[in-house]
């Protein structure tokens, strides 16, 4: 008997990175998987690999999300686990932002070591467009809300379910990218509120708040990476299993007394949530 025997799980943004590894571990633990991704090709590929259902949908599009859950309801008639994982940090064309994030911390450190003052400034928020603000909030926060709302239409009458939302240490400690940090902080608030609301229906809602993990999302941080590793007591980025195993735990009945909680595998970068 495995830990997720016979459970039906939907993981958003599961075409790559953390979501893909969560889906693989869920499968090993006996779950049947619905693989969502905005990239239909990525969703289809993983669905083939683990014998699941691939569904292309942008989680920030409420009608696409509604259609996805209607398909889940008609194909499976049940949903035990939702992982709201889809997200991004940099989009194509963010070259200037990526350069600042990689270079400014070193310049600031040099200036500080030379006796200060610091005269190189990050200045990311002042240059942020309305579009960049809204897209970030929309994919992470609207997406988490849209998918949770549709999942509850299936889970509420079941009187059971586990929802896992992907936060980040950026949502608690802050970091460069006010749009990303605000979205992730919002996800933690959403998690606690929904956990209280649906506890009487036997539905648990928790969050993961990863530190820096090796995926495509953190690849653009190659230059600043040694500095981040130096600030991490364990001295390295994590790997996808550092997040996938806690997700298995939160999804399973072993976590039956866990709701409204945040688990933060981060190598010691942040020591309270």
The encoded tokens of residue 42 equal 């990525």
Interface with ligand NAD (CB under 6 A), residue from 53, 85, 172, 232: 85
Q: Which of 210, 150, 151 is nearest to 184 (CA)?
A: 210
| Residue 54 interacting with ligand NAD (CB under 6 A) | no
Residues 15, 39: Cα–Cα separation, whole Å: 7
Residue 145 or 212 having the CB closest to ligand NAD? 212
Site for ligand NAD, residues 196 to 255, rule: CB under 6 A: 210, 212-213, 215-218
- Return phi, psi of residue 11, to 5°: -115, 125
- Could you tell me the smallest distance in angstroms from the CB atom of residue 238 to ligand NAD? 8
Between 232 and 252, name the residue whose CB sits nearer to ligand NAD: 232
Letters for 165-194 (x = contact with ligand NAD by CB under 6 A, - = none) are: -x-x--------------------------
Size of the site for ligand NAD (CB under 6 A): 30
Stretch 90-119 residues interacting with ligand NAD (CB under 6 A) = none
133 contacts ligand NAD (rule: CB under 6 A)? no
Q: Is 180 a catalytic residue?
A: yes
CB count within 10 Å of CB 247 equals 28
CA dist., res. 131 & res. 134, Å (int): 5
Shortest distance, position 56 Cβ to ligand NAD, whole Å: 8
Instruction: Identify which of 73, 64, 103 has the alpha carbon closest to the alpha carbon of residue 10.
Output: 73
Residue 263 binding ligand NAD, by CB under 6 A: no
Shortest approach of ligand NAD to residue 50 CB, angstroms? Answer: 15
Q: Is 142 in the site for ligand NAD (CB under 6 A)?
A: no
Q: Mark the segment that binds ligand NAD (CB under 6 A) among 15-23, 90-98, 104-112, 223-231.
A: 15-23
Q: Which is nearer to ligand NAD, 133 or 158 (CB)?
A: 133
List, as one string, the DSSP characters of the chain: --TTTT-EEEETTTTSHHHHHHHHHHHHTT-EEEEEESSHHHHHHHHHHTT-EEEE--TT-HHHHHHHHHHHHHHHS---EEEE----S--TT-HHHHHHHHHHHHHHHHHHHTT---------GGG--HHHHHHHHIIIIIHHHHHHHHHHHHHHHHT-EEEEEE--THHHH--S-HHHHHHHHHHHHHHHHHHHHHGGGTEEEEEE---SB-SGGGGGGTTTHHHHHHTSTT-S-B-THHHHHHHHHHHSGGGTT--S-EE--STTS-S--
Q: Candidates 32-40, 151-159, 192-200, 225-233 — which segment interacts with ligand NAD by CB under 6 A?
A: 32-40
Pick 94 or 111: Cβ nearer ligand NAD: 94
**Interacting span for ligand NAD (CB under 6 A) from 11-19, 101-109, 125-133, 190-198:** 11-19
Pick the stretch among 54-62, 69-77, 97-105, 195-203 that binds ligand NAD (CB under 6 A): 54-62
Q: Which residues are part of the catalytic machinery?
A: 180
> Which residues sit at the interface with ligand NAD, rule CB under 6 A?
12-13, 15-19, 36-39, 42, 58-60, 85-88, 139, 143, 166, 168, 210, 212-213, 215-218
């Amino acid at each position: 008997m495995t830990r997720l025997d016979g459970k039906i799980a939907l993981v958003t943004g599961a075409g790559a990175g953390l979501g893909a590894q969560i889906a693989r571990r869920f499968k090993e633990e006996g779950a049947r998987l619905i693989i969502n991704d905005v990239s239909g090709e990525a969703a289809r590929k993983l669905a083939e690999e683990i014998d699941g259902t691939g569904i292309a949908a942008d989680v920030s599009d409420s009608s696409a999300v509604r259609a996805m859950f209607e398909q889940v309801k008609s194909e499976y008639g049940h949903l035990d686990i939702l992982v709201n994982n889809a997200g991004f940090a940099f989009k194509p064309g963010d070259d200037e932002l990526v350069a600042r994030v990689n270079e400014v911390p070193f310049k600031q450190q040099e200036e500080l070591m030379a006796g200060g003052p610091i005269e190189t400034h990050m200045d990311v928020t002042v240059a942020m467009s309305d579009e960049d603000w809204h897209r970030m909030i929309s994919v992470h926060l609207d997406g988490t809300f849209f998918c949770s709302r549709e999942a509850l239409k299936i889970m509420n009458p079941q009187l059971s379910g586990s929802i896992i939302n992907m936060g980040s240490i950026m949502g608690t400690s802050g970091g460069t990218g006010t749009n990303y940090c605000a979205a992730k902080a919002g996800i933690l608030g959403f998690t606690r509120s929904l956990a209280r609301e649906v506890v009487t229906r036997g539905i648990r809602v928790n969050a993961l708040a990863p530190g820096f993990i090796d995926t495509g999302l953190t690849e653009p941080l190659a230059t600043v990476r040694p500095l981040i590793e130096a600030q991490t007591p364990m001295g390295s980025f994590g790997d996808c299993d550092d997040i996938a195993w806690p997700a298995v735990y939160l999804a399973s009945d072993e976590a039956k007394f866990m709701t409204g909680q945040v688990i933060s595998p981060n190598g010691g970068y942040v020591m309270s949530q």
